[in-house]
Amino acid sequence: MMKPLAPKVEQLDPHCWRILNHGFSMNSGLIVGEERAVVIDTGSGPREAAGLYAAVRRITDLPLLVINTHAHGDHVFGNSYFAAHGVEDFHASAAAAEHLRGHGDEERQLVRFLEPEMALRQGPYSNIVVPSRIIGEAGATLDLGGTSLEVFGLGRGHTAGDLLVRCGRILFTGDLVEEGGPPNFEDADPFLWAELLERLERECRPDTVIVPGHGNVVDVDFIGRQLREMRAALREGEEIVASWPAGRVDPTAFQLEWMPYGPEQSSIFLQRLRELLP
């Protein structure tokens, strides 16, 4: 029998909750109006989604809709569970929907330890549900009855299609902001991500409560630090790539020591720079 994974629930204001899924420390969001409620990101498979759904239902019995901040498996693989429990409207960027349609199965590897059924495509709720409500470049305002939220993109960053959700002073950023671990560069354009963080910093006020894709709630100063660290890593990384010996595939341990993101993500960061720089 599949065991649901119980998340940790934190209320941030009268309408907004952060729901921490333990597996990847991924933050789902819940925004509750008078007529409808929104779940932001559904977890990494049916186990997490079952715990998340139960947590949501302890707070509200209103009809739900889902927003996926981006197409990584730990954020979208609970969609099928939510669809089976009555959710019809799944929102995402066009790029995220396209990634999930074309490469969704490749995402399954990521969740193999936490969600073996999802990884192996076995059993109920292990199919991939691709969002059909596409949020365009102009963004959208969703009215939940008595309260509303804005969902919008700020350009390419962590992936080709990251969405943010704002309700009052609460801002859900998906993996554009990460707390407790390095940013993930697997599908990122680090140059554009740094520019995006600059725009994001301007979007925030001193009292904005930022719910990152993973880890604890942060403030605008944290975004400033992530931005400065990325700018420094880009400067260092460009020098490393410029002097890269022909024929070498992986960065050396010495090169990685100059980067701030730990061996795995620093290595991916440098590989992305090599692909992006002329």
Where on the chain is the footprint of Zn ion (CB under 5 A)? 72, 175
Question: Is the Cβ of residue 187 or residue 236 nearer to Zn ion in the bound state?
Answer: 187
* Residue 278 Cβ vs Zn ion, minimum distance, rounded to whole Å: 27
* Residue 68 Cβ vs Zn ion, minimum distance, rounded to whole Å: 11
How far apart, in whole angstroms, are the C-alpha atoms of residue 261 and residue 190?
13
Given a contact cutoff of 8 angstroms between Cβ atoms, the answer to whether 220 and 201 are in contact is: yes
Task: List Cα–Cα distances, 173 to 45, 151, 187, in angstroms.
Answer: 21, 10, 16
Which residues have CB under 8 Å from 227's CB, separation 6+? 194, 197, 198, 201
Packing angle, helices 220-242 and 262-276, rounded to 10: 60
Question: Residue ranges of the alpha helices (H) in 60-189?
Answer: 73-76, 79-84, 94-107, 116-120
Strands (E), the chain: 8-11, 16-21, 26-32, 37-40, 64-67, 90-93, 133-135, 140-143, 148-153, 163-167, 170-178, 209-214
How far apart, in whole angstroms, are the C-alpha atoms of residue 12 and residue 96?
27
Containing 190, the helix (H) or strand (E) segment is helix 190-203
* Residue 242 Cβ vs Zn ion, minimum distance, rounded to whole Å: 29
Question: Is the Cβ of residue 72 or residue 156 nearer to Zn ion in the bound state?
Answer: 72
Question: Is the Cβ of residue 175 or residue 189 nearer to Zn ion in the bound state?
Answer: 175
Question: Is the Cβ of residue 130 or residue 241 nearer to Zn ion in the bound state?
Answer: 130
Question: Is the Cβ of residue 37 or residue 151 nearer to Zn ion in the bound state?
Answer: 151
Count other C-beta atoms under 10 Å from residue 64's C-beta. Answer: 21
Question: Is the Cβ of residue 115 or residue 175 nearer to Zn ion in the bound state?
Answer: 175
* Residue 144 Cβ vs Zn ion, minimum distance, rounded to whole Å: 25
* Residue 72 Cβ vs Zn ion, minimum distance, rounded to whole Å: 3
Question: Is the Cβ of residue 37 or residue 164 nearer to Zn ion in the bound state?
Answer: 164
| Sign of the CA dihedral with 113 first, then 115, 118, and 120 last | positive
* Residue 268 Cβ vs Zn ion, minimum distance, rounded to whole Å: 12
* Residue 25 Cβ vs Zn ion, minimum distance, rounded to whole Å: 12
